[in-house]
Structure 1
């Protein structure tokens, strides 16, 4: 009988299964979990497609709703949350209050942040069944003193912003209609604007030696009649005025159209603009303090190291803003000063210690603009250090000629820590918050309002900057049916 080479140990080794029961169970569980996750992702994708389809069917205006907050929002563009210092703003509806013959095209205004959140729901996968990969731990850089101060400031305001976001997410009536804010009257959802290669560069035009020679043609007393789908212009009178270094005004109660270098622009009712660089801003100063401005909103092109921002618009060093003649622009009875700033600690220190004292402005409050997408989520992580989804509005008073106790007692206190929520439009385009601030304006009505470094016009406002017509191009508007 031949000797067998199979020992007891070899027999056990050959009969051993390829996977241990524990490993086999783990692999089966992981595969099953992956299949479940794929199924959930498919369901989520179909639901998102279904809700997007519903959102694009009917504009928000046409849906009956008994909610008072939503009804007010439809008319004014402001949705006030009960028991909170938070307000949601639809800039399109607010801006449309300035126009009689035109409306701001929603799909043109909302050019970003309307795609749904496509991040995978990784929390659905059971963590103990994940394949763990060894990754090299990133070295955490210690924050310097200024960054630590900025983080401390952020941690103080974080609960306020989280509470404001909760208000939005709990407002089902508003949340359901966010995706409809982009819908035009004709029901279109996609933006009408194409590449803006042929758009005017007012910054470049204002810097050439021919700038004083450029003229803008205003259409005075223009009346439109719509007949058989054709627009006829009646009673049209044109007036040419200098485009740069001159106050151009529409004092009528109707919109005005204007032509400049083969482009058509829309000038809202009761508005004016002064287009120049910072060196010529003194041409805007009124002859008397009694003709000054009661509300001054400032959105400076703060210097930033971001190469992407420099491609969007030119910036200025901080020291240049010290020369803004705020005291000479302000009304004799005083003015509310509203200054937009980023979250850089260096900038906040500059405003508090240098800028406001130089302007003669006393700090009163800080408000916050929280930026969200159409699905109600933040545009970025709240704790993302260099790209936080909010900006600050620093508010102060310039007291004017009277700083006695009697005059100060008449001023209405500006509440601190108010939060504005909106879906952002174009890059660095701020929501119109003038109506919210009107109740704190000192002096008699009607208030005189001024925006510095403006890129659009508002009814009842004077706008100054080197490109105040930036968003007044007719491509951003739709003519109303008459």
Structure 2
């Protein structure tokens, strides 16, 4: 497949596979857009961090401008401190040095993809420029879910019957009310729906399912029949993080609470792939590898990397800056899968680390993943601590509708 074919593949699927490397560039807007028929995600809304001031505070540096002398001084100071590493930090630095050749190779393959680099700026901006989102009036589901009124809140779900099912041959809009918190809410397979709640509209993709609860209700997700378990379990925990606390981006959760997530009970007996997003903190990595993954029954984890780039293909930061790496890690491992029996299995298991590159969206928003899924087809997929929905996915967390607000969409 040549470069133009790959570019057409990106437009069709949201994935551009970079030749000669274990890397791919992804466009989350196109990947997520497959879930919608009547709506489209607005690229400039998804990629809002690429436009103007950051919504998390601080000014976004304009492309092509040189850093200020004060910024250079602060950077040199941080680099000086990074040379004075303690024992734990030295282990973290060793991990970085081990990953560094793969990350550099992946990024170089992106810089060599001239067609893709020419395409990126327009992909980020899209046809409709919406650089500033009105977020002040968005519903705060975390606060609402913790209120004594939570059991009484309802969402009005509006959906359309397919064309031709009524006598006039037009779409028949139907409405139903559903408890919003601590209940499973499902959307029909024949098309996306719109949810109305407290004066805001939410776009709900076809075949999606969500449950909005706090951590105390997570075991309500466990299926009554194990054969209806999940083949792909994506987990993006709100890890304890000083930076997140300072910005008040979202509530965090004590790391040890995650030991009680019923991951093994959610897994399909025919096999499940678990994808866990983690930070670059070495103490957290040790806890995950030594305690968390074994408690979930996850075996043989493989490390993937999400390398964040700007719309010109450059990294969002210095690759070697100790405390602000321009990448995040994913650990992928299997439950109920015998990798030694791969030859007789019905699915392909992971082989080696890979790099996913994309332009980041809003804080904590990750590119979607749905690859190397074991077990029966179509796969059953669930995301824990979700902040958006996907077609065919179950999404659980205390704000799975956060990025479903109509402000992020336009009608086709």
TM-score under structure 1 length normalisation: 0.76
Partner of 2:147: 208
Alignment partner of 2:317: what SS? coil
Aligned residues between the structures? 388
1:182/1:189 contact within 8 Å kept: no
CA displacement at 1:416 relative to structure 2: 1.9
Query: Structure 2 vs 1, CA of residues 197 and 98 (structure 1 numbering), >3 Å: closer, same or farther?
Result: same
- Aligned match of 2:111 in 156, 159, 169? 169
CA displacement at 1:117 relative to structure 2: 2.5
CA-to-aligned-CA distance 1:292-324 (integer Å, 9 cap, x gap): 000000000000122565510010110010000
Query: Structure 2 vs 1, CA of residues 319 and 308 (structure 1 numbering), >3 Å: closer, same or farther?
Result: closer
Partner of 2:122: 180
Q: Quick one: distance in 1 between partners of 2:99 and 2:294?
A: 25
Q: Quick one: distance in 1 between partners of 2:247 and 2:183?
A: 28
Q: Quick one: distance in 2 between partners of 1:450 and 1:356?
A: 17
- Aligned match of 2:336 in 394, 399, 402? 399
Partner of 2:284: 347
2:245/2:252 contact within 8 Å kept: no
CA-to-aligned-CA distance 1:97-141 (integer Å, 9 cap, x gap): 00010000111101013575234399xxxxxxxxxxxx9999646
Q: Quick one: distance in 2 between partners of 1:475 and 1:223?
A: 25
Structure 2: runs of 5 or more not aligned:
52-60, 69-75, 164-169
CA displacement at 1:235 relative to structure 2: 1.8
1:202/1:467 contact within 8 Å kept: yes
Greater Rg by CA: 1
Partner of 2:57: none
Partner of 1:462: 394
Query: Structure 2 vs 1, CA of residues 292 and 452 (structure 1 numbering), >3 Å: closer, same or farther?
Result: same
1:371/1:390 contact within 8 Å kept: yes
Q: Quick one: distance in 2 between partners of 1:449 and 1:161?
A: 28
Query: Structure 2 vs 1, CA of residues 306 and 121 (structure 1 numbering), >3 Å: closer, same or farther?
Result: closer
CA displacement at 1:253 relative to structure 2: 2.2
Partner of 1:415: 351
CA displacement at 1:422 relative to structure 2: 0.2
Q: Quick one: distance in 2 between partners of 1:350 and 1:356?
A: 9
Q: Quick one: distance in 2 between partners of 1:269 and 1:475?
A: 19
Query: Structure 2 vs 1, CA of residues 206 and 82 (structure 1 numbering), >3 Å: closer, same or farther?
Result: same
CA-to-aligned-CA distance 1:267-316 (integer Å, 9 cap, x gap): 00111101101100111111110000000000000001225655100101
CA-to-aligned-CA distance 1:315-343 (integer Å, 9 cap, x gap): 01100100000111111112000000011
Partner of 1:282: 219
Query: Structure 2 vs 1, CA of residues 223 and 82 (structure 1 numbering), >3 Å: closer, same or farther?
Result: same
CA displacement at 1:192 relative to structure 2: 5.0
Query: Structure 2 vs 1, CA of residues 137 and 304 (structure 1 numbering), >3 Å: closer, same or farther?
Result: closer
Partner of 1:199: 138
Q: Quick one: distance in 2 between partners of 1:183 and 1:137?
A: 33
The 5 Å alignment of 1:32-111 reads 67-111=4-48
TM-score under structure 2 length normalisation: 0.89
1:113/1:379 contact within 8 Å kept: no
Q: Quick one: distance in 1 between partners of 2:122 and 2:93?
A: 36
Q: For structure 1, which segment, 167-176 or 108-117, has the greater mean C-alpha deviation from structure 2 after superposition?
A: 108-117
Query: Structure 2 vs 1, CA of residues 220 and 120 (structure 1 numbering), >3 Å: closer, same or farther?
Result: closer
Alignment partner of 1:443: what SS? coil
Q: Quick one: distance in 2 between partners of 1:279 and 1:340?
A: 21
Q: Quick one: distance in 2 between partners of 1:466 and 1:281?
A: 10
CA displacement at 1:350 relative to structure 2: 0.7
Instruction: Answer yes or no: is 1:120 the counterpart of 2:62.
Output: no
